[in-house]
Structure 1
Amino acid sequence: MAVTFVLDFSDGQRLETSGNGVIGRNPAVHTPGTEMEDPAHVELVTIQDDVKSVSRAHLAFGQYDGVFWVMDLGSANGTTITYPGEGTFACDPKTRHEVDPGSVVRFGSASFALTRR
């Protein structure tokens, strides 16, 4: 059963999701390496970034067994996760990383905070 997660973005966007998605300046469903199970239900989150610190398709997200994950898609500026009370960790490209509720995911000059609804 899918869990609903809330992503509160630094630009004021808010996304409630129980599925998969791609975040970037110009995200696309068929981004190589995203391995989306159901491309028809992929959420695309566009981040406005005039300085281009966010890649066109910067990171993918989704969940597996109620655990939220992100995957850097080989972006130029990388992705980090700040876990509550545990510090900040850089994400390896093309690898799924678990994100705990209360964590902040930074990508380029943008970020989102994750909560579970």
Structure 2
Amino acid sequence: MNCQICGAHLPEGAMFCGGCGSSTSATPITRKRADPRPSDTTIIQPLAPRTTVISVPWWPAGDGPADDQPADGGPPTVRPAGAHAAAPAEKSEPARYTLQFSTGETVSVRGSGLIGRRPLPQPSEQFDHLIQITDLGMSVSKSHLEFGQHDGEFWVNDRFSGNGTVVRRAPAPALRCEPGRRYLVGRGARVEIGDQFFMVL
């Protein structure tokens, strides 16, 4: 028995042609028939990624730990984006923060931004600030870190940088950020990016 489409020899009992992949019942006429279900294709929109906000509380020396920080010094509470103890009644304007860099720059920010040696957003991204810092040792990646606000609280997100991001806020221990996750930091925290750092004020 031979394939009726490509003519290849078919073994006894074969259901498909090993040469062209056609069904053994296919003929040149059936291959030319119109698609009986032309509108059977459904385009499924990709799901929007769920962002997880990791609360990294900060408190002044002498005060107790925040409500979501275990007293035994365990890992901080992980809560989904949108979950907050007290949601504001109205959407307010983002708070203003000052970022004081070890390289000498001081930048006042409000909203979102990218920090790096040559920060470059993806085509679909928009940021309020692009902050370029000098790092002769090149320990800071081109687009090292993303920042923004969640219910008025400042957060940072390591953009899969080469040397990583570490958040330090006394008296809690230092925390190395997992790339792609947002970490809340308070005023007075120190954020280390490669060999450089900046203070959140």
TM-score (norm 1): 0.87
In the alignment, the residues of structure 2 paired with residue 102 and residue 81 of structure 1 have an alpha-carbon distance, to the nearest angstrom, of 11
Residue of structure 2 aligned with 1:23, choices 103, 115, 119? 115
Matched, 1:84 2:176: no
Query: What's 2:191 paired with?
Result: 105
Higher strand share: 1
Query: What's 2:50 paired with?
Result: none
Give every structure 1 segment of 4 or more consecutive aligned residues whose post-TM-superposition deviation is greater than 6 Å. none
Query: What's 1:6 paired with?
Result: 98
Structure 1 unmatched runs, 5+:
none
Larger radius of gyration: 2
Cα displacement string for residues 22-80 of structure 1 (whole angstroms, at most 9, x for unaligned residues): 0001101227xxx85xx1x5211111112210001000001011110000000010000
SS at match of 1:85: coil
Count of aligned pairs:
109
Answer 1 or 2: higher relative contact order, Cα 8 Å, separation at least 6.
1
Query: What's 1:49 paired with?
Result: 135
Give me the identity figure in percent.
36
Structure 2 unmatched runs, 5+:
1-91
Q: CA RMSD in A?
A: 1.5
In the alignment, the residues of structure 2 paired with residue 74 and residue 49 of structure 1 have an alpha-carbon distance, to the nearest angstrom, of 18
In the alignment, the residues of structure 2 paired with residue 51 and residue 17 of structure 1 have an alpha-carbon distance, to the nearest angstrom, of 26
In the alignment, the residues of structure 2 paired with residue 22 and residue 42 of structure 1 have an alpha-carbon distance, to the nearest angstrom, of 9
Contact residue 110 and residue 128 of structure 2 kept, 8 A: no
In the alignment, the residues of structure 2 paired with residue 100 and residue 110 of structure 1 have an alpha-carbon distance, to the nearest angstrom, of 19
